[in-house]
A and B are shown apart, each in its own frame.
Chain A
């Protein structure tokens, strides 16, 4: 079992005719994901290595019954692409694009009010259920099917955690990158709720970073609602205040969003927070008694 993506996923790739779009659409298909359609406005009727391309998401949806979208549209047009997918009723919209203006995401948020679509990202590596479906840019081969859920604001740090888990003999149920932007579609609590309802997820690795208070909110939610063990790591203990550390959302501003506060709250709420990012996998093994 897993959450959100799997054998049932029928994937649409928005921006499929661009370099990145093509490369990763094929990467996902090679992994075993059903990639059924692509969309690039103005390029309907073409195909990319056998994947049919449509002018609009609505047409792609009507013709192929795609239920999930992966977005590689450049930043100035990405918010529009998200809203088009939501409007067409796509259940799960995963936006990989980095660099979308905050104001555009506020528009997306207003547009999505009352909609049943789920947005993951933007600025994220995607979602993978090992052995079933990969939707995103992560290297598929480091993953192994299993029972640990991973949720993270960072891309490569997620790969690091997955690699450590696989080395420790622990496979993954689903890994979700929620992205490094200040305004995103899915937060830690959304993912944790889904893991809570998934019988085959035994434990969770939660990787946060400086900026905002999503980690504190999640920790308090875990204390009140979540039974399974959670191992956490927060990146950015050494980050200077007031500087954006690569991710648009990774900034300690106005005395808020610092790593120490997050770690303290997570520990108070019963999470196992590791000191070293090199110990995420081994700590999970220890917690589960493996």
Chain B
């Protein structure tokens, strides 16, 4: 799960990470009042989940409260397009107004899980403000990596290794070590999957501040963090994906025109891949799961056909725990309820209760395109969607 910058900063402050002073608002006139409180000069920052906000014009420096109001008026409500939003952009609903601080140096700092080492790792670099992936590509040596044991926390010598690698000295180094320990503790205790400060700021007077903050969380651990779960902003997510998640469905919207309904994540990915291999393009990833009820399958099918770009549907079910007859009933139920579906629906059923499943489809008042295996199903779906 992702949260906004202002929420991440709020969480990190609880652990002792210093940030610039600021407040959020959804109103331009209020932005002016906040700017006055902050002393006039301030930064107006769009709060959307996607990164690269500055590049898209969502982060602006205001020299005065008047300018803060003007900029806030321009940014609020705009469709902010960044390299991470896609072409349609994301509507800005909230702003963070922060005091402008003098910048001496900008660094990069993050904690994430290193899957191969099976430990959290701190990543730091001198190239603050830059995308870490670019740095990793151009100059991998420039990234300092420090693993730590999540059960012991970041040890003082490990924090010193990081600040030493960044060339920090004196009081600045000590402040940065404190911040590192706080960030590592926050990462572990909140079950985060990413805690990133980019840039980490060294001010003219040597103070260390988190100028930006980004946190992602392990969805599987949200049950023990109600406060974080409450930070979820559904406005930032695709509405079809939100609806699917309400039914326990794993759905991700993609750009193609062949909708897929599959059981199991691996088979769902493989089905997308085989559509592409035969010259088509998948419209979504959808794993209906092992224990999907007839009702969930019905909703899944409705979500698929609601997508206006869809030209054909491919249902690929290998029944293990998921019983093919239950899925067939769900699909037929959805077709009956929708009434006027004219899309071609290619079906490949195999596994538990497959005979009953096939019989249900045959008896339905709808002409399914029946496929014998995955290759056949993909070929037929691509042809039905208008060919490669």
Contact = CB atoms under 8 A, between A and B. Distances in A.
Contacts, number: 165
A244 B29 CA distance: 40
B115 A159 contact: no
B191 A103 contact: yes
Contact of A110 (B151, B188, B290): B151
A58 interface: no
Interface string B261-287: 011111111111111110000100101
Interface residues of A, number: 60
Nearest to A235: B269
A157 B273 contact: no
Contact of B266 (A100, A207, A238): A207
Interface stretch (A59-67, A220-228, A248-256): A248-256
A65 B270 CA distance: 41
B157 interface: no
Contact of B113 (A102, A125, A239, A259): A102
A106 B150 contact: yes
Nearest to A23: B321
Interface of A: 75-76, 99-104, 106-107, 109-110, 125, 137-139, 142, 152-160, 163, 180, 182-183, 207, 209-213, 217, 233, 235-240, 242-243, 245-250, 254-255, 259, 275-279
Contacts of B191: 101-103
Contacts of B132: 254
Nearest to A102: B218
B265 A247 contact: yes
B156 interface: no
B374 interface: yes
Interface centre among A106, A163, A259, A275 (most CB of B within 10 A): A106
Contacts of A246: 250, 264-266, 268-269, 285, 287
Interface centre among B137, B150, B218 (most CB of A within 10 A): B218
B227 interface: no
A126 B119 CA distance: 26
Nearest to A275: B277
B220 A180 contact: no
A185 B250 CA distance: 25
A217 B115 CA distance: 13
A156 B273 contact: no
A100 B191 CA distance: 12
Interface string B208-238: 0000000000111101100000000000000
Contact of B116 (A99, A106, A109, A213): A213
B351 interface: yes
Contacts of B252: 240, 243, 245
B373 interface: yes
A156 B263 CA distance: 7
B220 A101 contact: yes
A101 B221 contact: yes
Contact of B118 (A154, A183, A240, A255): A183
B270 A255 contact: no
Contacts of A154: 264-267, 270
8 contacts: A101-B224, A156-B267, A212-B115, A212-B116, A213-B116, A246-B285, A247-B266, A276-B274
Contact of B270 (A125, A157, A240): A157
Give the size range of B's interface with the partner: 35 or more
A283 B263 CA distance: 24
B254 interface: yes
Contacts of B133: 254-255
B266 A235 contact: yes
Contacts of A235: 266-267, 269-270, 273
B272 A155 contact: no
B274 A138 contact: no
Contacts of A213: 115-116
Interface in B73-127: 84, 112-113, 115-116, 118-119
B117 to A, nearest CB: 11
Interface centre among B113, B221, B264, B272 (most CB of A within 10 A): B264
Given A137-B290, A139-B352, A278-B373, A152 B266 contact: yes
Contacts of B271: 277
Closest 3 CB pairs of A and B: A154-B266, A246-B265, A156-B264
B68 to A, nearest CB: 32
A159 B351 contact: yes
A183 B266 contact: no
Contacts of A275: 277
Contact of A103 (B150, B285, B374): B150
B354 to A, nearest CB: 10
B65 interface: no
Nearest to B123: A254
Nearest to B152: A110
Contacts of B223: 75-76
